[in-house]
Amino acid sequence: MKFAAQKGTRDILPSEIYKWQKAERMFADVCHMYGYEEIRIPTFEQTDLFQRGVGDTTDVVQKEMYTFNDKGGRSITLRPEGTAGVVRSYIENGMSSLPNPVRLFYNITAFRYENVQKGRYREFHQFGLEAFGSEGPDIDAEIISILTVFFKKVGLKNIKLCINSIGCPTCRKKYNEVLKDYFRPNLDSMCDDCKARFDKNPLRMIDCKDDRCKKFAEGAPRLIDYLCEDCNNHFEGLKKNLDTLGITYTIDSGIVRGLDYYTRTVFEFVSENVGTQGTILGGGRYDGLVATMDGAPTPGIGFAMGAERFLLEADAQGIDFEEPNYVKVYFADLSPEAKDQIKKLVYELRLNDIGCEMDLMGRAFRAQMKYAGKHNIPYLVAIGDDELSSGVVKVKCMADGSQTDVELSKIVDYFKSILA
């Protein structure tokens, strides 16, 4: 039998891993620079956590979760996103007693049972962050600026920022009635999910992916026109902050986000490039979530960026992540005695943080040189009996073909000085 990776999962091979490593490092560096610390949360949680946290009227919970019973009879779900787990950890570990804001970032795998397409997988990765304890809107703008800084450092251009406000329970109460009045005459011709959402969570109907519902959803009244005074002030504050930083944005009153926990600020960064999956990331404020999960009422805000979509976009824009060359020197041997000497040399160099390689295949000299060339190893040292007796070797620089005589006893110092 031939095994294959499961539908919607992918291997990240050595030929592309350097892009991931670089992106992960750059994201972590920017987060650290803003005072965020990394958190690592478990891959699976009890199913209720997501039902309550993400919301049981969402597509994610209703259609996309990987849920199963473990051998102990517990209902377990592979995390479809990071926020619910981070909020659980925040509450469970008493992080509310830490100085505010509590700021955490993460790099996780997430799992959703989806229709697989370019930029849409069943196992995917998210770079994300969450900040607790600050009501903003200063922090809302600061979080958006983390992304603009990150994109700038990577060299990504033309990523459009779209913002919206979806208010608080107060404005939503009034708005829900307006929305229900709007949808009521057509409810019979909408999908079953929307019929159920009509009473439970009409805002979700705006986000429905079913063609029968989309045409009604498009003309629906928008929450942003029904904001209460506090929410309106908050949104104005966000816009003012962004204007101060010179961050351009578009107000898209159609953004409601696919997860139930959002309040007030919601935002997305969108590109034209990533096929039909143009949304590189989404985020927003969730002031009610910590309390919903039985923590003390605490405002929160965060985002999650799809790492695959980010890298697809980076590739489309021709971003060079510069594949590193960890191995700097190849030692080719011309005799068994030389090979013994080389074993000691490479060990010493490695102890001194200089990457090097020697033959492990019993190859002839010419084949060793060919191997070094194939791997683009920048320096070459050939050692035979002559070099052993003279105690001097030639170091060849492959970039310009130049050769330098170096005493064997000083080889570590030599490479330290030229590779520094």
| Nearest to ligand ATP of 307, 380 (CB atom) | 307
CB of 207 to ligand ATP, least distance (A): 8
CA 102 distance to own-chain centroid: 20
Q: Is 155 left (phi over 0), alpha (psi -120 to 50) or beta?
A: left
Surface-to-core class of residue 376, CB atoms within 10 Å of its CB (0-12 exposed, 13-18 middle, 19+ buried): exposed
CB of 295 to ligand ATP, least distance (A): 22
| Nearest to ligand ATP of 259, 411 (CB atom) | 259
How far is residue 125's CA from residue 17's CA, in Å, rounded to a whole number? 13
| Nearest to ligand ATP of 110, 380 (CB atom) | 110
CB 204 within 8 A of CB 57: yes
| Cα–Cα nearest to 8, from 119, 163, 101 | 119
CB 280 within 8 A of CB 305: yes
**Token pair in block for residue 88:** 């659980």
Supply angle C-alpha 279, 287, 216, rounded to 5: 50
CB of 129 to ligand ATP, least distance (A): 12
Q: Please state whether beta strands 279-285 and 263-270 pair in parallel, antiparallel, or not at all (unpaired).
A: antiparallel
CB of 322 to ligand ATP, least distance (A): 24
Residue with tokens 């949360």: 41
CB of 68 to ligand ATP, least distance (A): 19
How far is residue 33's CA from residue 120's CA, in Å, rounded to a whole number? 30
Q: Please state whether beta strands 392-397 and 329-333 pair in parallel, antiparallel, or not at all (unpaired).
A: unpaired
CB of 122 to ligand ATP, least distance (A): 7
CB of 111 to ligand ATP, least distance (A): 9
Residue with tokens 């100085």: 99
- Residue 120's identity, in one-letter code, is R
CB of 350 to ligand ATP, least distance (A): 39
CB of 258 to ligand ATP, least distance (A): 4
Phi and psi angles of residue 278, each rounded to the nearest 5 degrees, phi first = -75, -15
| Nearest to ligand ATP of 208, 381 (CB atom) | 208
CB of 416 to ligand ATP, least distance (A): 43
| Nearest to ligand ATP of 50, 124 (CB atom) | 124
List residues binding ligand ATP (CB under 6 A): 81, 112, 114, 119-121, 124, 126, 258-259, 277, 279-282, 304, 306, 308-309
- The residue at minimum Cβ distance from ligand ATP is 306
| Nearest to ligand ATP of 280, 301 (CB atom) | 280
| Nearest to ligand ATP of 258, 355 (CB atom) | 258
| Cα–Cα nearest to 212, from 231, 194, 191 | 191
Residue 307, CB-side half-sphere exposure with 13 Å CA sphere? 23
31, 33, 36, 38 alpha-carbon torsion, rounded to 10°: 60
| Nearest to ligand ATP of 308, 387 (CB atom) | 308
| Nearest to ligand ATP of 119, 288 (CB atom) | 119
How far is residue 60's CA from residue 68's CA, in Å, rounded to a whole number? 15
Residue with tokens 């060339």: 373
| Nearest to ligand ATP of 124, 183 (CB atom) | 124
